[in-house]
Structures are given as C-alpha cells and as structure tokens.
Amino acid sequence: MTTETDKLREMLVDLQSQLAFQEDAIAALDGVVSQQQHEIILLRRQVELLGERQKSQAEQLSEVAGGATEKPPHY
C-alpha cells in the first residue's frame, strides 16, 4: 500500500511540475502574441500610409503628365 501511495505521490508531483512549466510557457507565448499583435497593427498602418502616398504620387504624376497621356483628337 505504501508503495502505491508513494508512486501516486510521485506521479502527482510530476504532474504538478509539468503544469508549472506549461503555465510558464503559456505566459511567455501570450507575451509574444501580444507583442506580435502590436507590431501587426503598426505594420498595417504603415501599409495604409504607403498606399495613400502611392495614390497621391500617382495622381500628381497624372496631373503633370496629363497632356502627354492624352491622345490627339484625330485618334
């Protein structure tokens, strides 16, 4: 009986140890995910700004080159 009790206690200690490691791993992963989410938000905003900038430059280019891109009336 004592041997079974000792084995059960040992198994319980092992399980508690594994649980503690898993909790630490989950906490670390949660921190990484939070940091990545913040970076994703920043990157999305940068992509939006670059898109707006590209659109603005394309509009400016079409205004400057407006006469050069129009076909003559005889076409």
**What integer pLDDT is reported at residue 75 of this predicted model?**
63
- Whether residue 38 lies inside any domain: the answer is yes
Domain count along the chain? 1
Which ranges in the chain belong to alpha helices (H)? Answer: 2-64, 66-69
- Whether residue 24 lies inside any domain: the answer is no
- Whether residue 28 lies inside any domain: the answer is no
Could you report the per-residue pLDDT of 15-71, keeping only the tens digit for each? 999 999 999 999 999 999 999 999 999 999 999 999 999 999 999 998 887 765 566
pLDDT at 8 over 80: yes
- Whether residue 43 lies inside any domain: the answer is yes
Read off the tokens for 22: 């898993």
- Whether residue 7 lies inside any domain: the answer is no
Domain containing 51 equals 33-61
**What integer pLDDT is reported at residue 68 of this predicted model?**
59
pLDDT at 1 over 70: no
- Whether residue 75 lies inside any domain: the answer is no
Contact 68, 75 (CB under 8 A): no
**What integer pLDDT is reported at residue 67 of this predicted model?**
60
- Whether residue 15 lies inside any domain: the answer is no
